[in-house]
Amino acid sequence: MQYENLLKIQEDDNVAIALTDLLPNHVYKIAGQDITVTSEIPKAHKVAVSLIKEGESVIKYKTPIGRATETIHPGDHVHSHNMSTGLNGITEYQYHPVTPASEMPSVLTDTFEGYLRPDKRAGTRNEVWIIPTVGCVNRTVRILEEKARLLYGSRVDGIFSFPHNSGCSQLGEDHLITQKLLRGLINHPNAGGVLVVSLGCENNNLDDFLPVLGTYNPERVKFLVTQNCEDEYEEGLRLLDELTHYASHAKRIPLPLEKLQIGFKCGSSDAFSGVSANPLCGKIADLVIQKGGTCLLTEVPEMFGAEQELMNRAASEEIFHKTVSLINDFKLYFMRYNQPIYENPCPGNKKGGITTLEEKSLGCIQKGGTSLVTDILSYGDYPIHSGLNLLNGSGNDAVSCTNLTASGCTLILFTTGNGNPFGAPAPTIKISSNTGLALHKKGWIDFNAGFLLEGSSFDAERKRLFSYVIKTASGQIRTKNELSGYRDISIFKDGILM
């Protein structure tokens, strides 16, 4: 990359990114070229570095990110006032397979310290989770969590409950999605023990839910039906005593990186996210996958406009067709509700310099690195193939992180340009795209990728972030969301609520 006051990602780009606030009538240099800025341009926003005629493509990442709605001159601010998306509806795609780079940089370690579970999966934490089958018992599970922490908290890495507002008055696919996501949480390798708390009369009662849950270890998973006992707190604490005792026998041991499963997410992004934090995460994904590990990328609507790149990385033609279905099915979901497919960038994105969905998506998928796509997963599915898996789901931060956790991710790398305190049940490493955010929200941000915009190399920051990931996975570092108690879930809904 070439950067002074301006950053031009690729040589063929006709826009650059402002690394600082740019002043009108000032001359800025980029790669030996003088650019006279015609108006005030906020940091992270785009400035034209060549003439772009009306109707021509605005090029960033060496890829069109929209079309000029009027002629744009060098030095002009390029944003929603003079460019718009170039995307449309359902698209036919062609498979043009690519070969990923065969040589990868070496890693500093091949192992992390984790908990090997009986099913051979590995946890990065050894906690006891309290999971309600229905929202009616949300306060019950919170009280049980508080009481159990005082009594048994020292036995394990933590005791946590995960209230939600699903589990009753749902029909059809929504009901099944709720069950699959709860099943994924119950089977999660970071949970050394799980108490499932039910009301008793809900749609998602145990008679209905247990067939979905399938086989389980009765020492690790126990059930409390609150309508069936006189004192749910006395009974719940008795069960949590047993669960924490069982979980306490697990010990950290050295494990190969192939046992690591990481989810990737971006939220409240700015235009720096796609050039600092996201591609840095992509390098971590490639390293983990190189060692046989598994990485999950979700936020399907934020693949729109960049999907062809992911499709070309499909490991087979079958995976290519699955990826096409993943993309077009989500477009049809928008169309069923008569909603525009490509009006994705939120006010915070636009304030941070992102104009179109193409621009947002091309930055978003950088988190997936360059590895082949090995499979497509639905809600609550655990991956059966290592490598890069694409997980069905929306771009909503809470819903996405819940999906990643329910599919077995034991760490989540969450990039942000504007900041977001949200934390998933799995440790959520918050990575800022810029130093200003890291300094402003020290209680939210774990790792600053903004040094990349200040002269640090990707090689140096890759090593630094990889070390941070390994230490977090090994329990040597607790993330800011863990320290602050930010652990929540949100379950996707698309249907009638009775």
Q: Is residue 373 part of a domain?
A: yes
Which of the listed residues 219, 249, 279 is the one where a domain comes to its end? 249
Which of the listed residues 185, 216, 249 is the one where a domain comes to its end? 249
Q: Is residue 111 part of a domain?
A: no
Q: Give me the domain span that covers residue 204.
A: 127-249
Distance of CA 228 to the CA centre of its chain: 39
Residues 154 and 211 in one domain: yes
Q: Which residues contact 36 (CB under 8 A, 6 or more apart)?
A: 25, 26, 27, 74, 75
- How many Cα atoms within 13 Å fall on the side-chain side of residue 47? 31
- Paired tokens of 366: 């950088």
Mean pLDDT on 370-399:
97
Pick from 278, 282, 265: which is nearest to 433 by CA? 278
Residues 240 and 262 in one domain: no
Q: What is the C-alpha to C-alpha distance for residues 256 and 111, in angstroms, rounded to an integer?
A: 4
Structure confidence by residue, pLDDT tens digits, 437-482: 999 999 999 999 999 999 999 999 999 999 999 999 999 999 999 9
Structure confidence by residue, pLDDT tens digits, 220-263: 999 999 999 999 999 999 999 999 999 999 999 999 999 999 99
DSSP letter at 56 equals: P
Residues 283 and 194 in one domain: no
Phi, psi of 495 (to 5 degrees): 175, -165
Q: What is the C-alpha to C-alpha distance for residues 400 and 391, in angstroms, rounded to an integer?
A: 9
Which of the listed residues 249, 284, 299 is the one where a domain comes to its end? 249
In this structure, the strands spanning 294-297 and 373-377 are unpaired
Examine the pLDDT at 2 and tell me if it is beyond 50.
no
Q: Is residue 342 part of a domain?
A: yes
Structure confidence by residue, pLDDT tens digits, 266-321: 999 999 999 999 999 999 999 999 999 999 999 999 999 999 999 999 999 999 99
Q: Residue 101: which region, alpha, beta or left (left: phi > 0; alpha: psi -120 to 50)?
A: beta
Contact 283, 289 (CB under 8 A): no
Other Cβ atoms less than 10 A from the Cβ of 160: the count is 21
Phi, psi of 354 (to 5 degrees): -90, 130
Structure confidence by residue, pLDDT tens digits, 320-330: 999 999 999 99
Q: Give me the CATH number covering residue 71.
A: 2.30.130.110
Name the average pLDDT for the chain.
95
Residues 243 and 275 in one domain: no
Is the CA virtual torsion 229, 233, 236, 238 positive or negative?
negative
- Paired tokens of 285: 């994904």
pLDDT at 102: 63
pLDDT at 91: 84
- Among 44-48, 324-328, 457-461, 491-495, which stretch is predicted with the lowest mean pLDDT? 491-495
Residues 321 and 445 in one domain: yes
Q: Which residues contact 191 (CB under 8 A, 6 or more apart)?
A: 123, 127, 128, 129, 185
Mean pLDDT on 368-392:
97
Residue 466 vs residue 33, higher pLDDT:
466
Residues 368 and 439 in one domain: yes
- How many Cα atoms within 13 Å fall on the side-chain side of residue 485? 6
Quote the number of domains for the chain. Answer: 3
pTM, two decimal places: 0.95
Residues 172 and 216 in one domain: yes
Residue 106 vs residue 149, higher pLDDT:
149
Residue type, 474: S
Mean pLDDT on 38-54:
97
pLDDT at 1: 40
Other Cβ atoms less than 10 A from the Cβ of 218: the count is 7
- Paired tokens of 170: 């749902």
pLDDT at 325: 97
Residues 294 and 156 in one domain: no
Kind and range of the H or E run holding 137:
none
In the chain, how many H helices and how many E strands? Answer: 13, 24
Percent of the chain with pLDDT over 90: 90
Residues 236 and 342 in one domain: no
Residues 403 and 470 in one domain: yes
